[in-house]
Amino acid sequence: MITKSPPENLYTAGLFHDCGIAAMSMRYTDTYLETLLLANEDHSKTQAEHENELHNCNHAIVGYFIASGWKLPRDICQVILNHHEEDFLARNKNHMENLVFATLKIADNMVSSLKRRRTFKAGTTLKKIVSFKLGWTKISTMI
């Protein structure tokens, strides 16, 4: 059942999945930079978890509302909302959303590996699910 996701969906999700960061930095002008710095140093939690603790909201939720307000396609809005949820692929039934999400996770890992010199902390289960959803027979070292 592997089908291709339209390239424009992948591009749009990649471009907009962190759009909530800009909005949060405008709203929390005095504290948000510290939140980002903390999230970049403390990898025991995701950036969204740090944001939730310090601001009672996170960039994925804010990004979802921005994307919905801009009338982006529903599947892209769902990926934006859930892009930090490790169980998204396991619980989501929408094949196109899963393809976009899995591709976004691979791209995020590549950026993280190259830019921050660290790898995405996906568990083996998430790696297996991403590989399965993309139709790969081997678990890639990129995820």
% pLDDT > 70, the chain: 78
CATH number of the structural domain 7-134? 1.10.3210.10
* Cα 74 from Cα 68, distance rounded (Å): 7
Give the pLDDT confidence of 25-59 residue by residue, as tens digits: 999 999 999 999 999 889 889 899 999 999 999 99
Average pLDDT of every residue of the chain: 84
* Angstrom distances, CA of residue 17 to CA of 3, 26, 105, 136: 22, 17, 11, 24
Residue boundaries of the structural domains of the chain? 7-134
